[in-house]
Each structure stands twice: as structure tokens, then as C-alpha cells.
Amino acid sequence: MSLRFGVLAGMILLAAFSRMIPHMLNFSPLGAMALFGAAHFQKKWLAILIPIAATWLSDLFLNNVIYAQYHPTFTWFYSGFYWQYSSYVLIALVGMLMLKKISWQRIALGALSSSAIFFLVTNFSCWIGSTTYAQNFGGLMTCYAAGVPFLKGTLLGDLCYAAALFGSFSLMQQQIPALRPALSASNQ
């Protein structure tokens, strides 16, 4: 395991556990973690695995310690987790395309895209098969409208955590050459 891998994985794990800090609704690091992993892991399967694993570990702690009174038994996975986790996979895939070359403009666009993907996927998951919303286009739009108040926290979380993750790692790379990506034979 390289120093670069350890620092990247550690930053993502630390970001995931920052969810324990009191925060506004939907202000979380999860979308930014997916973008950060997509931009920096040279093995792209790690860009998906590490943020998902960190999310799952923080979910285990949240569901079984912080919110244990809401779960009658130990909770490995909460109901509908696959919708949220699939949104993080999509965010990572978009990040792999958008962040081949890292710039602040691309990071900001990635964070905005992350919020949009999370909003669209998770609100769709609330609508599909719901007894609260009519199972037609109007019901879907009503469900999306009901999710708008939570979008502010998602946007702020994605932007703030993306700035923190990308900015701090960039500063570390300037000071510690071992954190810079290894040049491939074609780049030498």
C-alpha cells in the first residue's frame, strides 16, 4: 500500500465520519467523496469501492449507535440503501469523465452534478411504488417538488466538502511529492 493510497483512503474515511458532526439536513460529504475518489485513485475500481465502503462504515455507526433507538435490531443495510449507494456510483462515474484534468471549475461543476444526480435518484426512489405519490408523471413531479427544500443542504455539502477534500489534498501534494500521481510509461 502506497502513502498516496493511504492518504486518499484516510481522507475519504475521515470525511465519511464527519457525518457525526451536527449539520443541516442533507449537508454531507458523500457526493464529494465519490468525486474525490474518481479524480485521484489511479485504479478506477477503487474510486467506487473506497467511498462506498467508507459510506457503509459510517452508516453502520449512524444506524446502530447514533440512531439505534429507531432500529429494533442491528442494521447492516437500511431500507432502500441501494438507491443512495447507486447515486454515489453514478457520481463517481461522472467524476471519472469530468475530472480527468482537475481544475476548480471542473470540481465546482462536478459538485453541482453530484447534487443533481443525488436529488434525481433519491427522489425517484421515494416516488416509485409509493402510496404517498400518484404513480404517474404528476406524482413524480410532486415528489421532486417535495425534495426541493433538502437540495440546499446537498448543494452546500457537495461544494464545501469538495473544496475541503480537493483543496487540502492539493496542498499536501505540493508539500509531499510522494502524494503526486505516479507517471505512467506513456507520460514519461
Q: What is the pLDDT of residues 83-104, one digit of tens each?
A: 999 999 999 999 999 999 999 9
pLDDT beyond 50 at 168: yes
Q: What is the mean pLDDT of residues 58-69?
A: 93
* Domain membership flag for residue 98: yes
* Domain membership flag for residue 24: yes
* Domain membership flag for residue 132: yes
% pLDDT > 70, the chain: 96
**Torsion angle (degrees, nearest 10) of CA 27, 28, 34, 39:** 70
Q: What is the pLDDT of residue 71?
A: 87
Average pLDDT, the chain: 93
Range of the domain at 169: 3-180
* Domain membership flag for residue 30: yes
Q: What is the pLDDT of residue 185?
A: 37
Confidence grade of residue 182 (pLDDT, cut at 50, 70, 90)? confident
Query: CA angle at residue 168 from 101 to 154, to 5 degrees?
Result: 80
* Domain membership flag for residue 118: yes
* Domain membership flag for residue 34: yes
* Domain membership flag for residue 59: yes
Q: Which residue reads 467524476 in cell numbers?
A: 95
Q: What is the mean pLDDT of residues 115-122?
A: 97
* Domain membership flag for residue 188: no
- The total domain count for the chain is 1
pLDDT beyond 60 at 57: yes
pLDDT beyond 80 at 183: no
| Dist. CA 105–CA 99, nearest whole Å | 10
